[in-house]
Amino acid sequence: MHTIDAHKNIIEINKTIAERNRKIFAQNNVFAINIMGATGSGKTIMIEMLSKKLKSEFKIKALVGDIVSKLDADRIKNTGIEAKGINTGTECHLDSHLISHAIEYMDLKDTDLLLIENVGNLICPTDFDLGEHKRIVVVSSSEGDDTVEKHPMIFLTADLCIINKIDIADAVNADVEKMVDDAKKINPRIKVFKTSFKNGDGIDEVINWIVKNMDDYKQNNKSKIEI
C-alpha cells in the first residue's frame, strides 16, 4: 500500500505555480507583496493608506482574498486604484493558482506595485508562496500580546512584522514591546514597525520600507533583463 503525503504534494504544486507567477512579475517589472495577518488586524486599512499616499507616484493594484464578499476590495477601489476580490470559499488562504488566474486579466505592464491581501488568520497562509517578493505580517495589540509567540511559523517566513493598534494597547493591557521582542526572537532577520493606522503613526516607515525594497527589486530585475 502506498501512502501519499497530500499536503506535501499540494505545497510542491503550489511552489511550481508560484515560481511561474514570479517569472511573470519579473517580465513585467512588478513588485509583489503578500500581506498576511490576523483577522481585523488592519491589513485593508493599511492598503487604503498606501494607495492614498503612493498612487500619484506609483502604479498600484491590489488583489484581496476573502472567504466570501468583496467588501475589502470595494474599500480599496474607493481609494482610486484597481482592486480585485478573490473569494476562497472554504479555504483559509490564497494560493498561487488563484493568483495566476487573477493576474491573467490584469494589465501588469501598467503596474509597479501589486499588494495582495491574504485571508485573515495567522496559520493557513504561511505555507503558500504566491510568487511574491516580500511578505508582511500584520498583528494588532487587541489580539493579545501573546499572539506573536503563539504563531511562530508565519513570523519565520515574513520580512516585515507590523504591530498595529498601538493606540489601544493600554486599554487592552497589551505589552507591545513583548510582541516586538517575540517577533525578533522567532526571526532575527525580521523588521518590526509599531503602528496605529487609525491615527497614521508608523505609516511613513512602512512606506519607506516598501519603496526601498521595490527600488532594490526593480534595479536588480532591470540588470537581469539587460543581460
Where on the chain is the footprint of ligand GTP (CB under 6 A)? 37, 39-45, 72, 120, 164-165, 167-168, 196-198
Q: Which listed option, ligand GTP, Mg ion, none, makes contact with residue 196 (CB within 5 to 8 Å by class)?
A: ligand GTP
Q: Which listed option, ligand GTP, Mg ion, none, makes contact with residue 40 (CB within 5 to 8 Å by class)?
A: ligand GTP
* In the complex, residue closest to ligand GTP by CB: 120
Closer to ligand GTP by Cβ: residue 17 or 33? 33
Question: Which of 56, 52, 55, 51 shows the shortest CA–CA distance to 64?
Answer: 51
Closer to ligand GTP by Cβ: residue 108 or 168? 168
Shortest Å, Cβ 189 to ligand GTP: 24
Count the site residues for Mg ion by CB under 5 A.
Answer: 3
Sign of CA dihedral 199, 76, 203, 159: positive
| DSSP 8-state symbol, 59 | -
- Asked whether the beta carbons of 183 and 164 are under 8 A apart, the reply is no
Q: Which listed option, ligand GTP, Mg ion, none, makes contact with residue 16 (CB within 5 to 8 Å by class)?
A: none
Buried b (16+ CB within 10 A) or exposed e, 67-95: eeebebbebbbebebbbbbbebeeeebbb
Amino acid identity of residue 209, one-letter, is W
Q: Which listed option, Mg ion, ligand GTP, none, makes contact with residue 45 (CB within 5 to 8 Å by class)?
A: ligand GTP
Closer to Mg ion by Cβ: residue 197 or 217? 197
Contact between 164 and Mg ion (CB under 5 A)?
no
Q: Which listed option, ligand GTP, Mg ion, none, makes contact with residue 21 (CB within 5 to 8 Å by class)?
A: none
Closer to ligand GTP by Cβ: residue 37 or 125? 37
Among 14, 21, 34, 44, binds Mg ion (CB under 5 A): 44
DSSP E strand boundaries for the chain: 31-37, 60-66, 82-87, 113-117, 134-140, 160-164, 191-194
Question: Which of 38, 20, 22 shows the shortest CA–CA distance to 30?
Answer: 22
For residue 119, give the C-alpha cell: 485571508
Q: Which residues bind Mg ion (CB under 5 A)?
A: 43-44, 72
